[in-house]
Amino acid sequence: MADCIFCKIVDGSIPSKKVYEDDQILAFYDLEPQAPVHVLVIPKQHISCADEVDESNSGVFAHIFEKIPQIAKELGLTNGYRIVNNCGDDGCQSVKHMHFHLLGGTQLGGRMV
Ligand code: AMP
């Protein structure tokens, strides 16, 4: 989608530090890490947020959750991690291309908000 930062990362017109890629998904380091390890995992297809998930596109999210353990292991997250998805304004979603934050590398805080 035009003007979507993450679509531009997918097509290579904006650089990223990739940690995993296949035909359906991409994982890359967050520009402003909030933990020692902070990676974003995205579908290559433009899906704005969780509100847009339906029967026609949900398969890619199963794929993401199948790959996250492999990505986490490769990043050395052997003692656990957190997966975060922000949706919409109240969820503080700043990039409107659905993504999962994979955070770890330290003992994370116990509160979600
Ligand atoms: P959210 O607030 O959940 O929408 O998260 C968006 C995330 O994208 C933030 O953590 C940003 O630091 C990150 N981000 C924005 N632009 C880039 C970029 N060009 N490369 C890597 N991460 C980015």
Q: Tell me 93's DSSP state.
A: -
Nearest to 85 by CA among 61, 66, 106: 61
User: What is the best residue among 17, 19, 32, 46 to mutate for testing ligand 1's pocket, by most ligand atoms within 8 Å of CB?
Assistant: 32
Share of the chain above pLDDT 90, in %: 97
Which tops the pLDDT comparison, 90 or 2? Answer: 90
Fold classified for 5-104: HIT family, subunit A (3.30.428)
pTM above 0.75, yes or no: yes
d(CA 31, CA 5): 12
Give the distance (Å) from ligand 1 centre to CA of residue 95.
6
Which tens digit of pLDDT belongs to each residue from 48-97?
A: 999 999 999 999 999 999 999 999 999 999 999 999 999 999 999 999 99
pLDDT of residue 9: 98
pLDDT-based confidence at residue 2 (cuts at 50, 70, 90): confident
Confidence check: pLDDT of 13 > 90: yes
Confidence check: pLDDT of 7 > 90: yes
14, 37, 96, 9: CA torsion to nearest 10: 20
